[in-house]
Amino acid sequence: MNWMGIKKWGILLCSLLLSFALYGCQSGGTVSEGDGLKVVSTIFPGYDWADELMSGTGHTPQLMMKNGVDMHSFQPSAADIVSLSDADVFIYVGGESDAWVADALKTAQNEDMVTVNMMELLGDRLMHEELAEGMESDHDHDEEDAHEEVYDEHVWLSIENAETICTAIADALSTVDGEHAAQYQDNLSAYLAKLSDLDSRYQQTVDDAARDVLVFGDRFPFVYLTDAYDLEYYAAFPGCSAESEASFSTVSFLAGKIDELSLPVVLTIDGSDQKIAKTIIENTTAKNAEILTLDSMQSVTDQQIEEGTSYLSIMENNLSVLEKALS
């Protein structure tokens, strides 16, 4: 059974346990004076955006996927489902990895919960997960699935998308907590200004760069980022692939691109063991490319959060990596 099948069985079990946990509970509602505001996000970017927007209100959000758990392997526990049930605002991605959400929301205690589905917000700006030249397909999918077009879930890696989602989160917070609506909107304006400045610096970096091609010895969750700045890329696997071993033909193809384009860097994503990247470099002529990491924010740890890691700080660091990779 693949991980999606395991998640489906898990959510069924959680739903049964939830029915007992919520027995006798009354339906929730919007926040009134003196009540706590409960905001839950499945992933780190949504959590961090909510935290920024809630600044100065006395409320803080909760992160569901903790301890660096990747969303592609996340399976909610019964406690997670119970915790979600009485949330005032629930923020989630809305892709295949969130297939469990629909069942969880059906059993939610708070009938007035406001949800923010990131992918639903983006409409025709959603991008399909691409099988680029030289990239290996995911063998976990059967032939029928292989012909289906799958939307890429990593929508937060576009700053433009971040602006759209943050606006929706601020509106959701204002809806359930009217007392602090002005504060949420003020925080939104300040944060959007920071995102706009960062976007301009990304564009300037790309405009000034000597190259416009990236090579990933890893999965590739950055289709929204590369599309935003018109960058080309080659990679071992699509962003949501479960594969971890690259074939000789894939390694050879990517090593050839390093040689052909004289690229100084092979990129990996957060949490990578860099094994494929090292093998690619060993198969290049010069064997001297550097390995750098672009952080996709799929496995941010509790310690990083405690140390002050934020969406902006990660994207700032990614900008520095991008500048070096394109130099």
Same domain, 315 and 254: yes
pLDDT class for 155, splitting at 50, 70, 90?
Answer: very high
| Predicted local confidence at residue 76, as pLDDT | 86
Comparing 35-39, 171-175, 195-199, the range with the smallest average pLDDT is 35-39
pLDDT at 144 exceeding the cut of 60: no
Q: What is the average pLDDT across 75-97?
A: 92
Picking from 327, 154, 302, 136, the residue whose alpha carbon sits closest to that of residue 228 is: 154
Q: Higher pLDDT residue, 30 or 121?
A: 121
- Domain assignment present for residue 31? The answer is no
- Domain assignment present for residue 231? The answer is yes
Q: What angle do CA 122, 106, 11 make, to 5 degrees?
A: 90
| Predicted local confidence at residue 292, as pLDDT | 98
DSSP code, position 57 = T
Residue 75: count of CB within 10 angstroms of its CB: 16
Cα gap 234→253, rounded to integer Å: 9
Q: Higher pLDDT residue, 307 or 10?
A: 307
Q: Higher pLDDT residue, 94 or 74?
A: 94
Same domain, 259 and 163: no
DSSP code, position 37 = P
Task: Specify the long-range contacts of residues 282-285, CB closer than 8 Å, at least 24 apart.
Answer: 283/251, 283/252, 283/255, 284/255, 284/258, 284/259, 285/259
Same domain, 121 and 147: yes
Comparing 13-17, 125-129, 159-163, the range with the smallest average pLDDT is 13-17
- Domain assignment present for residue 30? The answer is no
| Predicted local confidence at residue 238, as pLDDT | 72
pLDDT at 143 exceeding the cut of 50: no
Secondary structure element (H or E) that encloses residue 237, with its range: strand 232-238
Cα gap 95→129, rounded to integer Å: 11
Secondary structure element (H or E) that encloses residue 249, with its range: helix 248-261
pLDDT at 66 exceeding the cut of 90: no
Same domain, 190 and 213: no
Comparing 61-70, 157-166, 201-210, 267-276, the range with the smallest average pLDDT is 61-70
| Predicted local confidence at residue 242, as pLDDT | 55
Cα gap 10→17, rounded to integer Å: 11
pLDDT at 293 exceeding the cut of 50: yes
Q: Which of 169, 197, 225 is the last residue of a domain?
A: 197
Picking from 164, 153, 144, the residue whose alpha carbon sits closest to that of residue 241 is: 153
Q: pTM, whole model, 2 decimals?
A: 0.86
pLDDT at 80 exceeding the cut of 80: yes
| Predicted local confidence at residue 171, as pLDDT | 98
| Predicted confidence (pLDDT) per residue in 10-35, tens digit | 544 444 444 433 333 333 344 434 35
Same domain, 75 and 97: yes
Q: Which of 144, 168, 197 is the last residue of a domain?
A: 197
Question: Could you tell me if 145 and 241 are in contact, meaning their C-beta atoms sit under 8 angstroms apart?
Answer: no
Torsion sign (Cα): 153, 165, 46, 113: negative
H runs (alpha helix) in 22-153: 44-53, 78-85, 101-106, 118-122, 143-146
- Domain assignment present for residue 124? The answer is yes
Same domain, 65 and 175: yes
| Predicted local confidence at residue 23, as pLDDT | 36
Q: Which residues contact 127 (CB under 8 A, 6 or more apart)?
A: 151, 152, 223, 224, 227
Same domain, 160 and 231: no
Same domain, 138 and 49: yes
Same domain, 217 and 158: no
Same domain, 112 and 219: no
Comparing 13-22, 199-208, 312-321, the range with the smallest average pLDDT is 13-22
Same domain, 218 and 112: no
If one counts the domains in the chain, the total is 2
CATH of the domain at 289: 3.40.50.1980
**Residue 98 belongs to domain spanning:** 3-22+36-197
- Domain assignment present for residue 188? The answer is yes
- Domain assignment present for residue 129? The answer is yes
Length reported for the chain:
327
Question: Could you tell me if 209 and 249 are in contact, meaning their C-beta atoms sit under 8 angstroms apart?
Answer: no
Comparing 122-136, 176-190, 268-282, the range with the smallest average pLDDT is 122-136
- Domain assignment present for residue 307? The answer is yes
Question: Could you tell me if 84 and 40 are in contact, meaning their C-beta atoms sit under 8 angstroms apart?
Answer: yes
DSSP code, position 156 = G
Q: Which of 135, 167, 197 is the last residue of a domain?
A: 197
- Domain assignment present for residue 154? The answer is yes
Picking from 157, 182, 165, 199, the residue whose alpha carbon sits closest to that of residue 294 is: 157
Same domain, 320 and 262: yes
Q: What percent of the chain has pLDDT over 90?
A: 69
